[in-house]
Structure 1
């Protein structure tokens, strides 16, 4: 990228132009998603992406960072995540080493030692603080809050507060405010409902599984070594698998894994024998594999 991130973000003139730029980074989007992402950039609002696993939510944030030529900072959410783990932590081993070194040097000024112990150099910035500190008018960062539905209600309320004014208070150092709000993408697999208050702060978009034609295009774009025939067979089989009552229907990520596995084996076609030995690339639960094989792989591949 030759332009800086701020100029690139402000120079994107339409959803169609953003779609073209995402395409150049290998991410094929539809009109709805391109419009939602474009509005998030222009309105400086967080973008909340919801949908089943593997439909391209995380990949969009990565591609936006490429388009904007800016750092991607990822906060992976999980049960039990608290504010300290997302914000900052003090480097206690380094603080202790500094204290012992000062004592060995005969430093007796207690007030000075205490102030030095809570200097910025001993602060470990976690994702939220890093996003605020690295986001500037010339180069706003992209903050990905991944799988926010896995975090607890308390963390969700805290996150809402941070996203409201992009300010963090550190008692020992003062207030950190982003010079420019980062581009924020939140994702959810909808394992639980996220509170309305957080959704209201964001622009919302539900990601569907791609159409057959778009999935073929995605596979060909990401894996050019796979010819159109093989990509079409994989996409068609993945579409049929999503219509089954499976514990974990395959997303685009699994379609790509399956295609890559077939290419690695030198397969020219997806036939029942090849599908049987590579099923673990697309179905990640034993029960799903048993269900599909019991029905017959011929039915999966030939639409019976």
Structure 2
């Protein structure tokens, strides 16, 4: 198996009226996802070269949201595989529906008893591993769905063995189910892998992908994101929320806020009727942006500094 060669089977779904990174950025913008030149170019090339896109960066920088926006842009289903400690190939590929198989076996036995004839073992076994009893997990669903966007989220949480399995699947765009045979994608899914860099992912998997490091947005882009996703948020409120979040990200918190928290905070402030961010409204809504008691206690004591221009 060549772990660095691109897969050659199939073609990618065509972008709606797009033929360049700029066109892709424009298409993503219609979903509310604002991509800069670097991100749009890396994503465009990954799709055109039929390579997975490996997105790495701090939590909350928009890695998962990119896959969601791509699926919406392409009009394709988003199929998500959430990685975790101990995940194995069975959880990613397929399983058999044991309770239904057992019911089926009992029905066969009952029918055989009525008819007064024995069961043919080979026929019974073949019927138990019929397609109708197959439980397709995310990767198998993505291979069977054309086109689709496959999000392999937080690959850094999985172990080396699972990485090796992914490497083979992403190279071949096919899996073999012993009881049924090979399942090969007619159109390979658009694959986005994300990592929060809790550990280093092996070079073999990274070589199979195009790499993209995502930073938190600048204050100007964060304000632009707020206006794009929440057009009813007043200008002054959007600017003050973005400035406050930028400061929070440099405040040595247990969990610095990401873009999702910025949006939640602005939405929460709007819902309570705030027109700008002051000490009272900030204190009432900190639960939208901070997720640890220690962080909230620390920020409460520094609200005046946080809100200073």
TM class, shorter-length:
over 0.9
Structure 1 segment 1-304 matched on structure 2, within 5 A: 8-9=14-15, 12-106=18-112, 108-135=119-146, 140-294=147-301, 296-303=302-309
* Alpha-carbon distance in structure 2 between the residues aligned to 1:154 and 1:108: 40
Q: TM-score, normalised by structure 1?
A: 0.94
Please tell me whether the aligned partners of residues 16 and 73 of structure 2 are also in contact (alpha carbons under 8 angstroms). Answer: no
* Alpha-carbon distance in structure 1 between the residues aligned to 2:290 and 2:240: 16
* Alpha-carbon distance in structure 2 between the residues aligned to 1:9 and 1:110: 50
Task: State the superposition RMSD in angstroms.
Answer: 1.4
Please tell me whether the aligned partners of residues 87 and 128 of structure 1 are also in contact (alpha carbons under 8 angstroms). Answer: yes
* Alpha-carbon distance in structure 2 between the residues aligned to 1:8 and 1:25: 17
Please tell me whether the aligned partners of residues 54 and 210 of structure 2 are also in contact (alpha carbons under 8 angstroms). Answer: yes
Shift of 1:8: 2.8
Number of aligned residues: 294
Unmatched 5+ residue regions in structure 2? 1-10, 113-117
Q: TM-score, normalised by structure 2?
A: 0.92
Which residue pairs with 2:4 in the alignment?
A: none
* Alpha-carbon distance in structure 2 between the residues aligned to 1:10 and 1:157: 34
* Alpha-carbon distance in structure 1 between the residues aligned to 2:287 and 2:280: 13
Deviation by residue 1:278-298 (Cα, 9 ceiling, x = unmatched) = 11111111222222223x211
* Alpha-carbon distance in structure 2 between the residues aligned to 1:283 and 1:10: 38
Shift of 1:156: 1.3
* Alpha-carbon distance in structure 2 between the residues aligned to 1:35 and 1:260: 31
- More helix by proportion, 1 or 2? 1
Shift of 1:6: 5.4
Q: Which moved more, 1:103-112 or 1:183-192?
A: 103-112
Unmatched 5+ residue regions in structure 1? none
* Alpha-carbon distance in structure 2 between the residues aligned to 1:276 and 1:10: 44
Deviation by residue 1:218-273 (Cα, 9 ceiling, x = unmatched) = 11111112111111110000011112111111110110111111011111111011
* Alpha-carbon distance in structure 1 between the residues aligned to 2:289 and 2:119: 65
Please tell me whether the aligned partners of residues 77 and 148 of structure 1 are also in contact (alpha carbons under 8 angstroms). Answer: yes
Shift of 1:30: 0.6
* Alpha-carbon distance in structure 1 between the residues aligned to 2:18 and 2:228: 23
* Alpha-carbon distance in structure 2 between the residues aligned to 1:198 and 1:63: 24
Deviation by residue 1:122-158 (Cα, 9 ceiling, x = unmatched) = 10000000000112xxxx2100001111112211111
